[in-house]
Structure 1
Amino acid sequence: MKHTTVVAGLEVQVFTTDAFKTSTKPILALFVLHGRLGSTESENVRSLITTVVKAAGEHEGEKDLMIVAFDHRNHGTRLRSKAANLGFEENDNHASDMYSILAKDVSFLIDFLESYLFPAAERRVVEWGVAGISLGGHSAWMVAAADPRVTLVVPIIGCPDYLGLIEARATALGIAIGPPHFPDSLMKVLKAKALTALPYRSTAGENPFLGKKVLVLSGGSDPVVPWAASRAFVEGLEVGPRGSKEVKVFEGVGHAVGQGMVDGLVAFVLGDLACGRMF
């Protein structure tokens, strides 16, 4: 089932199983975010959503699944400038343009979506998750680090190290890491907001991934978001004894959502639905 609502001018699509309407179970709300140059109508996004919802409908769990999708800023129904979504070859502002749209609306929707969907508190979302493809995968990492309410994270062909990824992309094209492609003001923001995954026993600061369930799905032959850009962060990521981390790197797979990635996401979500309430 698909339901469309508008939250503060943002069109939001909600996908549920047929049984969801009459159920009273607690809810896992999973955002599924599309990639750059795509939208909620992209084939890989719709196929992924359809597959996960179908599997959830055939699965008896302790929680119900609700998938939430929306267009990233300057994409789909929100497109204002096609040029701003292009890479360095055609867009000097690529580093700024891509970073500035990442993950901006997920926490906003977590704040308000329940009041639109369940105004009389008919249902309760007890867990929030984010899965994303490419640009959506970058966003999944960022929102998981920034928002403690997000406890389930599935970056698909995405990267947690935006600065390292974008610098490598520029260097490969012979672009200097400095103005005009990398303004000083942008570099300050990127360095200040760079993700960290501190050891869970560290006294240096709080690790934002503690207790979270993380599934990383990457292509071993991805030329756009290479696994090498994510490896150090992911391998060093600590989620503590209450969290979980699973990493799947699919050899021979490029910048695409392979069947193994879809199967991995389905198994991960079904396993979470089988668990009881989370508060």
Structure 2
Amino acid sequence: MKQTTVIAGLDIHTYTTEAFASSTKPILALFVLHGRTGDSGSAHVQDLITALVDAAAGHAGQKDLMVIAFDHRNHGTRLRDEVGNLDFKANPKHVHDMYSIQTGTAKDVSFVMDFLEAYLFPSGERSVAEWGVAGVSLGGHSTWIAAATDPRVKIAIPIIGCPDYLGLMVPRAEADGISVGPPHFPEGLLSLIRSEALSALPYTSKGDENPFLGKNVLVLSGGRDPVVPWSASQAFVEGLEVGTGNKEYIVVPNAGHEVTPEMVKAAVEYILRVL
């Protein structure tokens, strides 16, 4: 079942099983974030949502699943500049736009977490026991950021996404003959990115400063992805320390920049394990 709730002008779509309305179980709320140039209605989002909800309907767990989707900034109902979603060949501000949208989306996830219960359950009828984020491509980048910046996010499933922004964008620029400097890489923007970069975090540490400790992370990547290659994420993912949490990663050998049935199956099974 789909319900749309408007929060501060933002359309928030929630998807649940038919049994959800009469249930009193705690809720696992999972965001599913779409890719660049797509929206919350894109097939790669809706297919994953359908698979998740259908699986939850037949699963007798301790929690109910609620899936959440919305349009990224400058996408779907929020589109203001089509060029801003394109790559270097059409958009000289590709580095600016990709970073601002993915970090903005992570902030939107936190914003929705702040308010969603109050809008959906104004009398305290239900509560969200656990929050998670799954995302595809651009949404996968945002998933990494949301997991690193909001302690409420306990589950992260980045799909064909990358945690190392410059590790992804610098080779992309070089492949297009673009130098890593102004105007495509302004110094002020580079300073901001480096100060916020996940690759600069002590993610291999077991100390309290590591934001991934205790979190459950499933990374799904394509072995032949030409857009977000596994090589851009590999060092970060392999070195990631989650402590008492869980870390798994699957690189589908022959997959390109796509969400394969194997990836959908892995994501669904991962969620069922924590329901």
Q: Deviations over 1:114-142 (max 9, x none)?
A: 11011111001010000000000000000
Cα drift, residue 199 of structure 1: 3.1
SS of residue paired to 1:104: helix
Aligned to 1:260: 262
Q: Matched residues in 1 for 2:134 and 2:195: separation? A: 24
Aligned to 1:216, the other structure's residue is in SS state strand
**Residue matched to 1:193:** 196
In structure 1, the residue matched to 2:107 is 104
So what's the TM-score if we normalise by structure 1? 0.95
What is the Cα-based RMSD across aligned positions, in Å?
0.8
Identical positions, percent? 62
Q: Give the CA deviation at 1:51.
A: 0.8
Post-superposition offset of 1:149 = 0.4
TM-score by length of 2: 0.97
Q: Which runs of 5+ in 1 are unaligned?
A: 274-279
1:235 aligns with 2:238: yes
The 8 Å contact of residues 197 and 209 in structure 1, kept in 2 or not, is answered as: no
Instruction: Tell me the equivalent position of 2:92.
Output: 92
Distance of 2:155 and 2:129 partners within structure 1: 12
> Could you say which residue in structure 2 is the equivalent of 1:276?
none
Contact 1:34–1:132 (8 Å) recurs in 2: yes
The answer for the alignment partner of 2:24 in structure 1 is 24
Write out per-residue CA displacement over residues 179-233 of structure 1, whole angstroms, 9 at most, x where no aligned residue.
110111100110000012433434xx61000000000000000000000000000
Question: Residue 146 of structure 2 is aligned with which of 127, 135, 143?
Answer: 143
Q: How many matched pairs?
A: 270
- Matched position secondary structure for 1:24: coil
Separation in 1, partners of 2:206, 2:108: 31
Q: For the residues of structure 1 that align with 2:80 and 2:268, how far apart are their CA atoms?
A: 34
Give the whole-Å Cα distance in 2 for the aligned partners of 1:261 and 1:201. Answer: 29
Answering whether residue 117 of structure 2 is matched by residue 114 of structure 1, we say yes
Q: In the alignment, which residue of structure 2 is the partner of 1:177?
A: 180
Residue type of the alignment partner of 2:229: P
After TM superposition, list the pairs within 5 Å mapping 1:38-57 onto structure 2. Answer: 38-57=38-57
